[in-house]
Amino acid sequence: MKNLCFKQFPLGGRRCTLAALLALAAAGCAVGPDFHPPAPPPGLRDDSYTPTPMPSATVSAPGPGGASQHLALGQDIPAQWWTVFHSPELDRLVRTALEHSPTVAAAEAALRQAQENYDAERGGRVVPAVNAQLGAAREHLADQGKTVNGVFSLYNASVNVSYAPDAFGATRRVLEGAQAAIDYQRYQLEAAQLALTANVVTAAIREASLRAQLRATTEVLAAQRQQLGVIDKQLQAGAVARAVLLSQRSQVAQTAATVPPLEKALAQSRHALSALAGQLPSTPDLPQFELASLTLPEQLPVSLPSALARQRPDVRASEALLHQASAQVGVATANLYPQITLNASYGAAGASPHEVLQANNLVWNLAAGLTQPLFNGGALTAKRRAAEAAYDAAAAQYRATVLAAFQNVADSLRALESDASALQAQADAEALAAETLALARRQYELGAISYLALLDAQRSFQQSHVALAQAQAARYADTAALFQALGGGWWNRAPASAAAP
Condensed to tens digits (0 to 9), the pLDDT of residues 386-418 reads 999 999 999 999 999 999 999 999 999 999 999
- For residue 444, the model assigns a pLDDT of 82
Sequence-ordered strand ranges (E) for 142-221: 150-163
The residue with greater pLDDT, 200 or 65, is 200
Tens of pLDDT, residues 281-291: 988 888 999 99
Strands 362-371 and 339-350: antiparallel
Cβ-contact 58, 300 below 8 angstroms: no
Percentage of residues in the chain with pLDDT exceeding 70? 90
Under the banding of pLDDT at 50, 70 and 90, the label for residue 498 is very low
Q: How far is the C-alpha of 172 from the C-alpha of 414, rounded, in Å?
A: 46
The residue with greater pLDDT, 170 or 26, is 170
The phi-psi region of residue 43 (left if phi > 0; otherwise alpha if psi is between -120 and 50; otherwise beta) is left
Q: How far is the C-alpha of 307 from the C-alpha of 162, rounded, in Å?
A: 47
Under the banding of pLDDT at 50, 70 and 90, the label for residue 28 is low
Q: Is 78 helix (H, G, I), strand (E, B) or coil?
A: coil
Q: How far is the C-alpha of 238 from the C-alpha of 188, rounded, in Å?
A: 73
Tens of pLDDT, residues 219-234: 888 888 888 888 888 7
Q: What is the residue-averaged pLDDT of the chain?
A: 86
Task: Decide if pLDDT at 27 tops 60.
Answer: no
Most confident of 172-186, 210-224, 277-291, 371-385: 172-186
Task: Decide if pLDDT at 94 tops 90.
Answer: yes
**Of the ranges 5-14, 35-44, 418-427, which one carries the lowest mean pLDDT score?**
5-14
Mutual orientation of helices 313-334 and 170-236 as an angle, nearest 10°?
A: 150
- For residue 149, the model assigns a pLDDT of 56
- For residue 4, the model assigns a pLDDT of 41
Under the banding of pLDDT at 50, 70 and 90, the label for residue 141 is low
**Of the ranges 130-144, 207-221, 412-426, 428-442, which one carries the lowest mean pLDDT score?**
130-144
- For residue 15, the model assigns a pLDDT of 42
Task: Decide if pLDDT at 1 tops 60.
Answer: no
- For residue 309, the model assigns a pLDDT of 92
Q: Which residues of 227-241 are buried (b: 16+ CB within 10 A; e: fewer)?
A: beeebeebbeeeebe
Kindly report the pTM of this predicted structure: 0.84
Most confident of 9-18, 134-143, 190-199, 457-466: 190-199
Q: What is the dihedral of CA 424, 430, 433, 437, to 10 degrees?
A: -150
Task: Decide if pLDDT at 382 tops 90.
Answer: yes
- For residue 236, the model assigns a pLDDT of 87
Task: Decide if pLDDT at 356 tops 80.
Answer: no
The residue with greater pLDDT, 32 or 264, is 264
Task: Decide if pLDDT at 461 tops 60.
Answer: yes
Task: Decide if pLDDT at 21 tops 60.
Answer: no
The residue-averaged pLDDT of 84-100 equals 95
The residue-averaged pLDDT of 457-468 equals 88
**Of the ranges 98-102, 154-158, 403-407, 470-474, which one carries the lowest mean pLDDT score?**
154-158
- For residue 275, the model assigns a pLDDT of 94
Percentage of residues in the chain with pLDDT exceeding 90? 52
**In 3-state terms, the chain is what percent helix, strand and coil (to 5)?**
60, 10, 25
Q: Is 75 helix (H, G, I), strand (E, B) or coil?
A: coil
